[in-house]
Amino acid sequence: MARLRDLYKSKIVPDLTREFGYTNVMAVPKMVKVVISMGIGKAVQDKKFLESARKELTMIAGQLPMVCKAKKSVSNFKVREGQQTGLKVTLRGVRMYEFMDRLINLAVPRVRDFRGLNPNGFDGRGNYSMGLIEQSVFPEINPVAIEFQQGMNITFVTTAHTDEEARKMLALFGMPFKKETDA
């Protein structure tokens, strides 16, 4: 079993139950999925960018990403409807917990000039979104072999009803949020 899953069952559930006064274990918020997405506008001009990003996202996530296509044509960006412009991966279960563990303990501390994650990335329904500027912070990626820097968006989807419940749960997982005095 994944290390963070054990942590959730043994420590996080009792802490959240105590703090928020849940009467039922099923009412305690839990992680549903983690969605990782990459927008690859450069892929319109050259397909090698898409293949390179697909290979790197596969190494990071541990599963093959889905290719997203443009829904509309936008002449200013030279994008036609149906062109491949992005990648996304949805992680659930054990893969989700393993990715979260690698992100929190290995990747985020490797970000240059890191001072904590933005605590305002919540959407009002208990889901948290963050972005990374480059994929080289993950230990699976060889920085020498990177052809181009590519950012990614990571969304943590939870069953929490409020942002405060989700923030507390993610903080107990070890998510390094900025302190309110630093923000």
Q: Give residue-wise pLDDT tens across range 76-90.
A: 777 778 777 789 999
Contact partners, residue 183, CB within 8 Å, separation at least 6: 118, 119, 120
Distance CA 62, CA 60 (A): 6
What is the mean pLDDT of the segment spanning 41-50? 71
For domain 29-173, the question of CATH label 3.30.1440.10 is answered with yes
- pLDDT tens digit sequence for 95-106: 999 999 988 888
Contact partners, residue 173, CB within 8 Å, separation at least 6: 4, 7, 8, 12, 100, 104
Residue 182, pLDDT above cutoff 70: no
pTM for the model = 0.86
Structure-token pair, residue 40: 């690859």
* Spans of all domains in the chain: 29-173
Residue 95 identity (one-letter amino acid): R
